Structure 1
């Protein structure tokens, strides 16, 4: 039953976040000691903008599991509850953690947003520019360039921002990565839509009850690793389907990796040239410039 609630929560997250949150809370009521349940509730709470709950549940998941996979989500939830400084603290603390490339990129993007919250646009831009664009996996690169485009627009460079957004979209198409503003598929939901449908399912027969008695007892005690594995497997299934792109869609894309890399190099060179031009102009008009500025 817990696994069904998690599957429903995952399938409804983009289509009906409120209902997904209800399913996650129902799973929490039955298996609060299972790490993936706390994770599901934290993510669902984030989607419905219950940021205090999201931070609490995701931190609990992190403590139980030892995983840092949701550190960027925790940081963004801190921003959501008006504490951008906490997000920046998480970025600073992450220097001592072994984060994978995607997680590190997401955390940098959130930290740049936190800088923007504090009206430090220059600081936000520096955070992103410090990242090595050429060493990012496709998904992280798409998100990083899109975030950089937003910062550039805020910083008064719309033309360069348009170039980065276009390159980000083309990279997304070429690699089968979601850009982020796609509409969710209304036909992609799960069959189980309400908490009541799960809770009111027929009772198991005496033989089935006897077979499952041991598993139920272990679940209630929070001590069954088999139960956790089963729940995690069920919860992971819908997540994988969200990023599926058809072979036909990929085949229609004509952009090659070499073309993407060449275009990225050109944009970075243009940006560097623009920065040098601005610096030269400032030096010519102002003989003595504060070095820090």
Structure 2
């Protein structure tokens, strides 16, 4: 039953986030101490802009599972509830964590957004420029260049911003990833049951015997959630996670077809753009020495 609700929540996340959230809550009511259930509810809450709930559930998932996969999402949810400083603190504390490249990149993008929230555009630009633009083309690189384009536009450099946006889109097509502004495919034929339609299966004697234990587990989950709320007032962010609200990281369910754009073409354009940036600003120079093996 919990699995059915989780599948429904995942399938509806882009198409109907409110229904996805209801399914995630239904799963939570049955298995509140399962890490993946807390994660699903946190992500669904983020999609419906319930950022307090998102932070609480994703932090709980992180504590139960030990996973840092959602650290950028937590940081962006902190931005969503008006606490950009906490997003920046998460980035600072992440230096001690072993994050993979894409997760780190997403966290940097969120932190740059937090800097923008605080009207520190120069700081946002420095955060992104410190990253490696010569990494192997990936979804993280697509997002990084798109975020840099936005910051450049705010900073009054529309021409350079346009170049980075175009390069980001070309990289997205070349790698078969999403740029981020695609619309969900509402005609995808997804048939997901409503929360009411996911009926409980007949309980076995063993299930009845374990009902008492399950209730106790739910009470413990409620107590744990209350503890999370109290944690929010304390500056214990060494274990914090992060992600994205005002500029959603996960946007659509529609897949793009791969376009025949080679890594060499992407590399050449990136070199040209970085050379233009270096020529236009002595203080904000970015050098690109691409060394990609496909």
CA distance in 1, matches of 2:156, 2:132: 23
Partner SS, residue 195 of structure 1: coil
How far is the alpha carbon of 1:140 from its aligned partner? Answer: 0.5
How far is the alpha carbon of 1:146 from its aligned partner? Answer: 0.3
Structure with higher Rg: it is: 1
How far is the alpha carbon of 1:193 from its aligned partner? Answer: 3.2
1:50-106: per-residue Cα shift (whole Å, max 9, x none)? Answer: 000000000000000000000000000000000000000000000000000000000
- Further displaced range: 176-185 or 186-195: 186-195
How far is the alpha carbon of 1:136 from its aligned partner? Answer: 4.8
Structural mapping, 1:204-219, within 5 Å: 204=202, 209=204, 213=207
How far is the alpha carbon of 1:216 from its aligned partner? Answer: 6.4
The TM-score with structure 2 as length reference comes to 0.79
Tell whether the 8 Å contact from 1:124 to 1:151 is kept in structure 2 after alignment: yes
| 1:128 counterpart residue number | 128
| 2:76 counterpart residue number | 76
Change (3 A) 1:215 1:57: farther
Partner SS, residue 147 of structure 1: helix
| 2:46 counterpart residue number | 46
| 2:164 counterpart residue number | 164
How far is the alpha carbon of 1:243 from its aligned partner? Answer: 7.1
Q: 266, 270, 285: which one pairs with 2:272?
A: 266
Change (3 A) 1:216 1:275: farther
User: Is residue 105 of structure 1 aligned with residue 95 of structure 2?
Assistant: no
| 1:94 counterpart residue number | 94
The TM-score with structure 1 as length reference comes to 0.80
1:91-150: per-residue Cα shift (whole Å, max 9, x none)? Answer: 000000000000000000000000000000000000000001112551101000000000
Change (3 A) 1:153 1:184: same
Partner SS, residue 133 of structure 1: coil
Tell whether the 8 Å contact from 2:9 to 2:23 is kept in structure 1 after alignment: yes
Q: 238, 253, 260: which one pairs with 1:254?
A: 260
Structural mapping, 1:1-293, within 5 Å: 1-188=1-188, 190-198=190-198, 200=199, 203-204=201-202, 209=204, 213=207, 220=214, 242=253, 244-245=255-256, 249-250=257-258, 253-276=259-282
Tell whether the 8 Å contact from 2:105 to 2:144 is kept in structure 1 after alignment: yes
Tell whether the 8 Å contact from 1:18 to 1:48 is kept in structure 2 after alignment: yes
Root mean square deviation of aligned Cα: 2.5
Tell whether the 8 Å contact from 1:51 to 1:77 is kept in structure 2 after alignment: yes
CA distance in 2, matches of 1:24, 1:164: 37
How far is the alpha carbon of 1:14 from its aligned partner? Answer: 0.6
Tell whether the 8 Å contact from 1:102 to 1:137 is kept in structure 2 after alignment: no
| 2:245 counterpart residue number | none
Tell whether the 8 Å contact from 2:17 to 2:44 is kept in structure 1 after alignment: yes
CA distance in 2, matches of 1:254, 1:41: 38
Alignment length, in residue pairs? 251
Q: Which has the higher helix share?
A: 1
